[in-house]
Amino acid sequence: MKPSRDIARLIEIMAALRTPGTGCPWDVEQSFETIAPYTLEEAYEVADAIARGDLADLRDELGDLLLQVVFHARMAEEQRAFDFGAVVEAITEKLIRRHPHVFGEARGRTPDEVKGLWERIKAEEKAERARRGGKPAEPDGALAGVPVGLPALTRALKLQQKAGRVGFDWNDPSAVLAKIREECGEIEAEIAAGGGEKAAAEVGDLLFAAVNLARHLDADPETALRAANAKFERRFASIERALAERGKKPQDSTLAEMDALWDAAKAAER
């Protein structure tokens, strides 16, 4: 079997891999539940390639993510639920429906009007699904519709955005920063009292407030934390290189020595 630019070849390969007896034993035994973690992992790999500006790697990672879609669609087809074509049809139908300002009569809208139109159409879709009984009705509250399975930082951001739309929000970043200082004080008090679960809960409040500050600064918290992780890795690698030149490893060094090297790595980046 030869590679191809045609999606039909990928679907054909997936079907062959899932065929009992002649296919891949590992692929055959998988289920929606066992594949789901790989789907999430591949999405993060795509985000990582984008963050690194590596377009060659992005091409490969998008292929891996597409494979996840084909894998799930194949398993659904085996259960006579739907196939890959139905997935494509569903998303094209949704895109056309949600863009009447492009494909329909509602042309000439401003970005804000388009956003409002999008939210209204989504709400109508949810109501229609509830009427059909195809999906459990969601709560009517302002925070409804934020999936529990999202990464915590992303879910915090979406919850805050929804609360902000109904007026439960601060007016400026300085107020959020004051809240962060307040949370730090509460953590300090819990540590003085012995730490434990209450201190951990206060750390959660601090993280939630930090996400809120990122939102008010128009920064995506997930992206900001990824950048901070990369910066930490880069500076720590600099510490390791400097110590290696001295014939040492981090575990053989003092915290003061490593801290000085950290400051040097930080200064070198300015």
pLDDT in tens, 118-160: 888 888 887 777 777 755 555 568 898 888 888 899 999 999 9
Token pair in block for residue 215: 């939102």
Q: Long-range contacts of range 260-267, CB-CB < 8 Å, 24 or more positions apart? A: 262/235, 262/236, 264/238, 265/234, 265/235, 265/238, 265/239, 266/235
pLDDT in tens, 232-260: 999 999 999 999 999 999 999 999 999 99
Is the CB of residue 190 less than 8 Å from the CB of residue 258?
no
Rounded mean pLDDT of 158-174?
Answer: 94
pLDDT of 1 above 80: no
Output the average pLDDT for the chain.
Answer: 92
Boundaries of every domain in the chain:
7-132, 170-219, 223-268
Domain 7-132 has what CATH class?
mainly alpha
Q: How far apart are CA 86 and CA 49, in angstroms?
A: 29
Task: Provide the pLDDT confidence category of residue 104 given band limits of 50, 70 and 90.
Answer: confident
pLDDT in tens, 10-35: 999 999 999 999 999 999 999 999 99
